[in-house]
A and B are shown apart, each in its own frame.
Chain A
Amino acid sequence: DAGITQSPRYKITETGRQVTLMCHQTWSHSYMFWYRQDLGHGLRLIYYSAAADITDKGEVPDGYVVSRSKTENFPLTLESATRSQTSVYFCASSDGTHKAFFGQGTRLTVV
């Protein structure tokens, strides 16, 4: 089905472990984004990408790594998870500067 999908939907991991959140879109949109959503902070931009092999930092990039070797995929890696990274993570895509579409989110708990 066309759209933007995130996996997994729920993840529990231990402090210090590496974890990767996946994002896949079927529209061939040029732009992709990663956000985290926390109570009291709204959605904060972690990283974004304007095209394959082009990524840039957002508002809160520390502790996260991204890559974009293919247009349709934009994985987000927490290299050494911390409890402060417990959050709901949203991926989004847009065709240039047109409307952005969001995935259903990944709820990550770091224990």
Chain B
Amino acid sequence: KQEVTQIPAALSVPEGENLVLNCSFTDSAIYNLQWFRQDPGKGLTSLLLIQSSQREQTSGRLNASLDKSSGRSTLYIAASQPGDSATYLCAVRNQGGKLIFGQGTELSVKP
């Protein structure tokens, strides 16, 4: 059974700091890994998708990496801003088609 873990559960940083969010998964037989952002009371917004054959993806200040063999992914946020405050979730797509989520990291960026 695939299990996805995100550490830390919550993180508070001052504005401008670079930060890393972690995601680990137990079964390396995945199609892809996707990072989402969720604002309070809202739905999920896709940030980055990394296919199993890829090592990283970048979008603006965001960079996601994937090490499938070790079952790990990181989301790097450069020069954090208060508007980055949200919950960040990672999800892995199993070869059976399931999309399994971690519990998320709640990020707070202080001005």
Contacts and interface: CB of A to CB of B under 8 A. Distances in A.
A90 B99 contact: no
Interface in B83-103: 89, 91, 93, 96-103
Contacts of A35: 101
Given A97-B93, A99-B46, A105-B43, A41 B103 contact: yes
Contact of B103 (A42, A59, A97): A42
Contacts, number: 56
A56 B96 CA distance: 10
A41 B104 CA distance: 9
Contacts of B96: 56
Contacts of B78: none
B49 interface: yes
Contact of A99 (B34, B43, B98): B34
A50 interface: yes
A86 B45 CA distance: 23
Contacts of A99: 34, 46, 49
Interface residues of A, number: 26
Interface residues of B, number: 22
Contacts of B102: 42
Contacts of A58: 98
B101 A97 contact: no
A102 B42 CA distance: 10
State the 10 A-B residue pairs at the shortest beta-carbon distance, nearest first. Answer: A42-B103, A102-B44, A43-B101, A97-B31, A104-B43, A102-B43, A99-B49, A50-B97, A99-B46, A42-B101
